[in-house]
Amino acid sequence: MTEILSFKNVSFSYSPEKADVRKAVDNVSFSVEEGEWIAIVGHNGSGKSTMVKMVCGLLFPQEGEIRVMGNVLSEENLWDIRSKIGMVFQNPDNQFVGATVQDDVAFALENNGIPYEEMVERVTSSLKRVKMYEFLNHEPHHLSGGQKQRVAIAGALAMHPKLLILDEATSMLDPQGREEVLQTVLDLRKEIGLTVLSITHDVEEALLADRIIFMNQGKKYAEGTPEEIFALGDKLIEFGLELPFAMRMSKLLQEKGVPLAGKNLTEEELVNDLWTSNFRK
């Protein structure tokens, strides 16, 4: 397994001179292996954005070290490392720089001096990967939120990133847009083994990840598979997170006396459980 990103005992405080101000990120360690999808979840102020800013070198840890593809992130290698990371942010309207979809995807390639023929090839293949090729000449403001985010993903893909960071990338989308973007990420993982780090409040999105890092007040409270993390149940609620819809529904049904065997993280599991526990003899 190749390690793409690691945090080792990383701490950051916005007021390092004040011992009484809580650290935004406090002694956090984790790693992301090639091909994994890791979701960082946590309530407001738990340190998620500060962690992303450190991965991109916008902030540097005061303690500990961050490695990207084996290299300790520093002022010297910052630009090289940034070129290997694709980012998609929260607001689909703040990310467009091109007048058309293809101009937008080509923007970073042009800035990086990629030869014209290669640029055309990368724009074409990236837009095909996110199923937005037919919108090549469309103006961005005519697209839906989900389509805009898929173009933003294409822009990131065109740079052949080692890591794609989704920073609350679905939080401003309607359910259909959210679904489109998440399906795109799932497809990309299957097709090209893309490594993904997503920062999210959305527990249903976190369920799709291989592993979840659960942050609380700057500290890593827990890390594990979605099953392990959501088994924490009331602890998640206490720290300001919801449980997935299927789990909440299972709990309510059990309280009403409907027999169910499991906790049921997904709707599919719930439907199967309802069927086997109640109807199949």
Ligand X SMILES: Nc1ncnc2c1ncn2[C@@H]1O[C@H](COP(=O)(O)OP(=O)(O)OP(=O)(O)O)[C@@H](O)[C@H]1O
Which residues of this chain interact with ligand X, rule CB under 6 A? Answer: 14, 24, 42, 44-50
Cβ contacts of residue 16 below 8 Å, gap of 6+?
Answer: 62
- By beta-carbon proximity to ligand X, the closer residue of 47 and 226 is 47
Cβ contacts of residue 198 below 8 Å, gap of 6+?
Answer: 37, 38, 39, 40, 165, 166, 167, 169, 185, 205, 206, 209
Nearest approach, Cβ of residue 202 and ligand X (Å): 11
- By beta-carbon proximity to ligand X, the closer residue of 46 and 95 is 46
- By beta-carbon proximity to ligand X, the closer residue of 47 and 140 is 47
Nearest approach, Cβ of residue 24 and ligand X (Å): 3
CA-based radius of gyration for the chain: 20
Nearest approach, Cβ of residue 49 and ligand X (Å): 3
Residue with tokens 């599991």: 269
What tokens were used for 187?
Answer: 């497809």
- By beta-carbon proximity to ligand X, the closer residue of 39 and 143 is 39
Q: Which helix (H) or strand (E) holds 42?
A: strand 37-42
Nearest approach, Cβ of residue 271 and ligand X (Å): 32
CA 136, CA 24: separation in Å to the nearest integer? Answer: 41
Nearest approach, Cβ of residue 172 and ligand X (Å): 13
Cβ contacts of residue 96 below 8 Å, gap of 6+?
Answer: 104, 140, 141, 148, 151
- By beta-carbon proximity to ligand X, the closer residue of 58 and 258 is 58
